[in-house]
Chain A
Amino acid sequence: MTVLANTFDDREQTLAERQIELVVTLADLCARPPRWRGERDELGHISCAFFLISAANLAWVDAAAAHPRVRAVPVSIEAMGSFAAIEASIATGRPQLVISGSGPGTLGHLWAIAAARAQGASVLVLVPRTPPELAGSNDIQEASYDQPLHVVGAHLYDKVIALEAVAQMPRIARTLRQLFARPQGAVVQLSVPTNLLVALCPALPRLDAVRIELPSPSAATIADVAELLSGPGKRPAFLFGSGAVAFRHRLGALVERWGAVHFSTPAAAAIVPGSLGVIGNAASGDIAKRLLELDVSCLVVLGSRLAIASGGGDGALLPAGCHVVHVDADHNVIAGNAVATWGHDVTFIPSDIGTFLDALERVAPTPQIQAVTPPEKGTS
């Protein structure tokens, strides 16, 4: 893996330049499994910087446009840049960059920031801030004492970091390295006083020296899951949510190995052939009836919050006694929150889907039920 943190260390760089370089480094180090498995041109391995240019963000835009591994993409409204960054991140697995304007420009992203977090995207939003000595001067687009616009909506981000001095940057770089290593992604705002953007910044510490392991389910937990999946005389089922899409190439073998049936939420519709159908909005296939007919006794949910629109609001979805194993990278997904799981035993496993699949495949007992002919396809 190429790590470019020190590419230009033979000359002095401004803080803005260091930060743009840092984004490329983070994208290389923290890339997650891409959901887009189709062709990519050479652009598919660079990072995008989406922005609406303004005086306050000129230093960042200038640095991004000059960087050989950054595609600078001016957009026409702030939220367009943030939505674009979400999908660039989801498709490629690489953290993406949004360069905000100051003042009201910071508000224009909020509409998309909430979606970014919900979608599991990795996005860094760089926000230019009024320098401390100008705060309260009532200048245009100023973040004043009374209305510090850049902190509005701070709770929508996973983390909001305010840089006050260039000397903070090494620690901030480490923090970003840790945040973007999360399998559920991270949406982070880093605000910087505009006067510091053009200040010189020493080289940042090597981030590739930091190794971050993903949380992994214990062997005992995996053994329990394997036992549930191979329970005698009963057929297990898998429910695929959007978090499973990046692993779609592995799911067919998974289903076959356990002799399972499968269905999905709308966001993962038809990612594996032979689906029973879709639950939630635009449901098809009468899943509840089929699960009952098939006497499904164990459901493994991969990468779904099971929200109402995803079918989690259906209290009659699962047969009585069906054990639910809920696997999700986001530990904030509350096990058993969905009405569909009420009254059922639930095992929640906070894990990246790929890590869980690896662990399950290591156990891989011979299924007691042989793979079956794909069930009839649900109709709508």
Chain B
Amino acid sequence: MNATVDPTAVVAAAVRAASRASQTVGVFAESSSAMFYVIRELCRLERAPYCRLSSHYGSMGHAIAGALGFCAATGQRAIVVTGDGSFDLMNPMRVAVRHGLRLTMVVLNDSRLTLPFLGAEHRGAKNAQETTHLVPWDFTRQGSLQVGGRRVFDEAELDDAIAAALSFDGCYVVDAEIDPHVEPPVGTRITGADALFGAPSPKRSPMHEERLRHGDI
């Protein structure tokens, strides 16, 4: 089994690198657990870089395709922090390469749909949770030499990988294999969804308690 990195460290490395180059790099976060990590990192900075979230509807794919539009309109580089599920939804790399855009994708890769995984667990919906697993995937294999890429399994490699991406004259994928046991800072996003069902869920579902007992969380 490969080693993994803490997603917090991945996002921190990306956001801080963008912050240092704030006149030339925009940050985009997909409406997934990636967005929550990014917001938390922004709050730790004294002054945030340009950052865009799909803040109203949280439309899936908005950040990825939107970053493409940002690059096309400004000529500058964008970093997109995304989960592996979102990347599948709207892969922009062929379009970005064709137009010479500098798009850096930072993939929080845990081979699952993290928010649905946690939400299903919160509701005790075990069968639904089983559907949230994804096939392990190497997102650096984009099928073109014009797309740079690096897989990251160790936190010590992060800064180098992000630096390589930001100095690459073109598109780049930093595929970070993240620790699935780290719960994203989703605030009230999971419990807030209880309102959809008209009744609160148990604070912790039996599945959650079981994971706690086994030390998985």
Contact = CB atoms under 8 A, between A and B. Distances in A.
Contacts of A36: 26, 50, 70, 74, 76
Q: Interface size class for chain B?
A: 35 or more
B192 interface: yes
Contact of B62 (A75, A83, A278): A83
Q: Interface size class for chain A?
A: 35 or more
Given A80-B90, A281-B187, A90 B47 contact: no
Nearest to A120: B56
Contacts of A80: 61, 65, 68, 90, 92, 95
Contact of A77 (B26, B57, B73, B90): B90
Given A77-B90, A80-B95, A40 B50 contact: no
A63 to B, nearest CB: 18
Contacts of B53: 266-267
Query: In this complex, which of A43, A84, A273 has the most chain B Cβ atoms within 10 angstroms of its Cβ?
Result: A84
B48 interface: yes
A118 B58 CA distance: 10
Contact of B23 (A39, A76, A265): A39
A91 B70 contact: yes
Contacts of B43: 269-270, 275, 277-278, 284-285, 377-378, 380
Contacts of B39: 266, 269, 278, 281-282
Interface in A345-380: 377-378, 380
A83 B192 contact: no
A75 B61 CA distance: 13
Contacts, number: 192
Given A38-B22, A79-B61, A265-B55, A282 B67 contact: no
Contacts of A10: none
A74 B92 CA distance: 11
Contacts of B94: 76
Nearest to A307: B56
Contacts of B36: 281-282
Contacts of B75: 40-44
A40 B70 CA distance: 10
A112 B50 CA distance: 21
Contacts of B25: 38
A199 B96 CA distance: 34
Interface string A284-315: 11000000000000000000010111100100
B52 interface: yes
Nearest to A80: B65
Given A36-B74, A74-B95, A76-B95, A270 B62 contact: no
A55 to B, nearest CB: 21
Interface string B71-95: 0111110000000000000111011
Contact of A91 (B22, B55, B62, B73): B73
The 9 closest A-B pairs by CB, nearest first: A84-B69, A41-B75, A87-B66, A83-B65, A88-B73, A118-B56, A270-B48, A88-B69, A269-B42
Given A90-B52, A270-B46, A378-B43, 17 more contacts: A36-B26, A36-B74, A50-B72, A71-B73, A73-B99, A75-B65, A83-B65, A83-B66, A92-B73, A112-B62, A118-B56, A266-B39, A269-B42, A283-B188, A305-B56, A313-B192, A377-B43
